[in-house]
Amino acid sequence: MVNVILSHEVKDFSNWKKGFDEGEPLRTKVGVKVNGVYTSFDNSNLITLNLEFPSVEAVNGFMANPELKAAMEQAGVISVPDVKILKKVE
């Protein structure tokens, strides 16, 4: 498994959360597990996601999916996502 920390800013958290929830089928299709959704204490429109993917290839394919880009725009994402792809050290 590959862990991904993804952060971006949105216009309105409530609108974004509705769109995020509606995007569950898109995430399920590639095997994404959501481990946490966070907002900044200083800015509730700054979102950080803790995600788990089956592989780096799945991450890259998901992030390149035009459906994801359209869904993010519709949900009000206003910044380029900061994506960190991590592997756990044992």
pTM above 0.85, yes or no: yes
Helices (H), the chain: 13-22, 24-29, 56-64, 66-75
Residue 79: the pLDDT is 95
Residue 39: the pLDDT is 97
For 26-71, the pLDDT digits (tens) are 999 999 999 999 999 999 999 999 999 999 999 999 999 999 999 9
Domains of the chain, CATH where assigned: 2-86 (3.30.70.100)
- % helix / strand / coil in the chain, to the nearest 5? 40, 35, 30
Residue 90: the pLDDT is 82
